[in-house]
């Protein structure tokens, strides 16, 4: 049996919530959608929440709402899931990659400032592994350059930065509810914002560009009347999924406690091993611990051999992430190796070990024992 690097936690009451939605009158566009959006807004402290069919769709919506289009660019980190960059490509925009901070592996504000050019309309830090990016620095950078600050918080629902929750730190904040993320709706995502104009554009974009509120329509022919004002998509999340999301969100504090507990155990177990670097936590930050990433000194360990040995022992270890611009699609656009040296050096060292709230005590012990003995056996 494989212990994966991440997985969902579903209880009987989650299943009951889904069954109730299935028995109700609304499978989609119903009351569970609004209720989940209210719950998300309340939890994150944002004024508005708009749910989407995936985190990727939510990123697409956020970039659209920010007015990103051909001739524009977003600036982001190469240490992320490709969707962060891809969603800008959906809109015909370019992607500027800046390097990451050596400690947190989050977008480095100094590198971002250096690489900014006139095309950059949105700065998109990623809260890598659940550790919030240095949002005060990026807020400053965004206001200095008149760009929109969009947080890819797909890893960090529930994290806090200088006492403020993720969701209150950017103009728009994007979440994912994929099963390995903090809470799940199967597939799903959301954008939270305080801005009324972004909110309206997000709602329209999710639903074919259709506006139903007479206050925002050019015309009015009667109660049936609605206007398709722009080219949108069907990016809706169903009531079935939103019912699951609400039930999951209510348990998030417990999930986060357990993730933090396991992360603390790992750090204690691995921090004194020579050639191993445990995740850094900046002062005044409470990470959501989406991932637990060890970094192996290449002079002491062959990362690939360690990876394969851990897989053989049934640990579903992973590598997060291959620098986005190394992928053939981005190479074909002209990005070359060497663009972000810190991110590339990090990629050679990183390995994610299992971390999710449903890991029980004996599994945590098994992970610790296995990692220790594999590292010992593979030390050069």
Ligand X SMILES: *Cc1c(COP(=O)(O)O)cnc(C)c1O
* Smallest distance from ligand X to CB 236, Å: 14
Q: Residue 150 or 285: which CB sits closer to ligand X?
A: 150
Task: Provide the β-strand partners of residue 172.
Answer: 150, 193
Would you call 181 helix, strand, or coil by DSSP?
A: coil
Strand-strand pairing, 94-97 and 73-76: parallel
Backbone angles phi, psi at 123, to 5 degrees: -105, 130
Radius of gyration of the chain (CA): 21
Q: Residue 175 or 335: which CB sits closer to ligand X?
A: 175
Q: Which residue has the tokens 């998030």?
A: 252
- Which listed residue (121, 181, 251, 380) is catalytic? 181
* Smallest distance from ligand X to CB 5, Å: 12
Strand residues in 127-270 grouped as ranges (E): 148-152, 160-161, 164-165, 172-176, 189-193, 210-211, 227-228
What's the token pair of residue 88? Answer: 């800008």
Q: Residue 53 or 193: which CB sits closer to ligand X?
A: 53
CA 213, chain centre distance (Å): 31
Q: How far apart are CA 211 and CA 373, in angstroms?
A: 60
* Smallest distance from ligand X to CB 54, Å: 4
Q: Is 380 one of the catalytic residues?
A: no
Q: Residue 24 or 28: which CB sits closer to ligand X?
A: 28
Q: Which residue has the tokens 């357990």?
A: 258
Q: How far apart are CA 199 and CA 191, in angstroms?
A: 9
* Smallest distance from ligand X to CB 250, Å: 20
Q: Residue 141 or 154: which CB sits closer to ligand X?
A: 154
Cβ-closest residue to ligand X?
55
* Smallest distance from ligand X to CB 169, Å: 16
* Smallest distance from ligand X to CB 85, Å: 9
What's the token pair of residue 34? Answer: 């609004």
Backbone angles phi, psi at 21, to 5 degrees: -65, -40
* Smallest distance from ligand X to CB 241, Å: 12
Q: Residue 8 or 84: which CB sits closer to ligand X?
A: 84
Q: What is the dihedral of CA 139, 193, 189, 174, to 10 degrees?
A: 0
For residues 275 and 297, the answer to whether their CB atoms sit within 8 Å is yes
Q: Residue 270 or 292: which CB sits closer to ligand X?
A: 292
* Smallest distance from ligand X to CB 275, Å: 28
Positions in the binding site for ligand X (CB under 6 A)? 54-56, 80-81, 83-84, 126, 152, 154-155, 176, 178, 189
237: DSSP letter: P
Element (H, E) at 350: strand 350-353
From the number of C-beta atoms within 10 Å of its C-beta (0-12, 13-18, 19+), residue 334 rates as exposed
Q: Residue 46 or 83: which CB sits closer to ligand X?
A: 83
Strand-strand pairing, 189-193 and 172-176: antiparallel
User: What value, to the nearest 5°, has the Cα angle with vertex 16 and ends 12 and 21?
Assistant: 150
Q: Which residue has the tokens 């982001």?
A: 76
Residues catalogued as catalytic = 181
């Amino acid at each position: 049996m494989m212990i994966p690097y991440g997985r969902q936690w579903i209880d009987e009451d989650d299943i009951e919530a889904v069954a109730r939605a299935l028995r109700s009158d609304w499978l989609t566009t119903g009351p569970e959608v609004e209720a989940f959006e209210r719950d998300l807004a309340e939890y994150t402290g944002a004024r508005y929440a708009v749910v989407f069919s995936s985190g990727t769709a939510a990123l697409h919506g956020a970039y659209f709402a920010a007015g990103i289009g051909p001739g524009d660019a977003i600036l982001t980190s190469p240490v992320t899931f490709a969707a962060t960059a891809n969603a800008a490509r959906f809109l015909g925009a370019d992607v500027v990659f800046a390097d990451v901070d050596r400690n947190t592996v989050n977008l480095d504000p100094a590198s971002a400032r250096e690489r900014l050019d006139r095309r950059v309309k949105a700065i998109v830090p990623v809260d890598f592994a659940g550790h919030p990016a240095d949002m005060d620095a990026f807020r400053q950078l965004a206001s200095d350059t008149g760009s929109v600050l969009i947080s890819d918080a797909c890893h960090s629902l529930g994290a806090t930065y200088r006492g403020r929750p993720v969701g209150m730190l950017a103009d728009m904040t994007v979440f994912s509810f994929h099963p390995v993320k903090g809470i799940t709706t199967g597939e799903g995502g959301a954008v939270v914002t305080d801005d009324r104009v972004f909110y309206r554009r997000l709602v329209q974009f999710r639903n074919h560009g259709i506006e139903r509120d007479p206050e925002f329509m050019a015309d009015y022919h009667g109660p049936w009347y609605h206007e398709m004002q722009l080219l949108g998509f069907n990016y809706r999340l169903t009531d079935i999924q939103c019912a699951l999301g609400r039930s999951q969100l209510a348990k998030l504090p417990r999930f986060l406690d357990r993730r933090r507990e396991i992360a603390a155990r790992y750090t204690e177990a691995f921090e004194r091993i020579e050639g191993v670097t445990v995740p850094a936590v900046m002062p005044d930050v409470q990470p959501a611990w989406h991932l637990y990433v060890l970094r192996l000194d290449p002079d002491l360990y062959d990362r690939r051999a360690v990876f394969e040995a851990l897989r053989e022992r049934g640990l579903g270890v992973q590598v997060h992430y291959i620098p986005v611009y190394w992928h053939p699609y981005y190479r074909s656009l002209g990005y070359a190796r060497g663009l972000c040296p810190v991110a590339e050096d990090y990629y050679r060292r990183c390995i994610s070990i299992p971390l999710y709230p449903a890991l029980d005590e004996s599994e945590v012990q098994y992970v610790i024992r296995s990692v220790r003995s594999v590292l010992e056996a593979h030390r050069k």
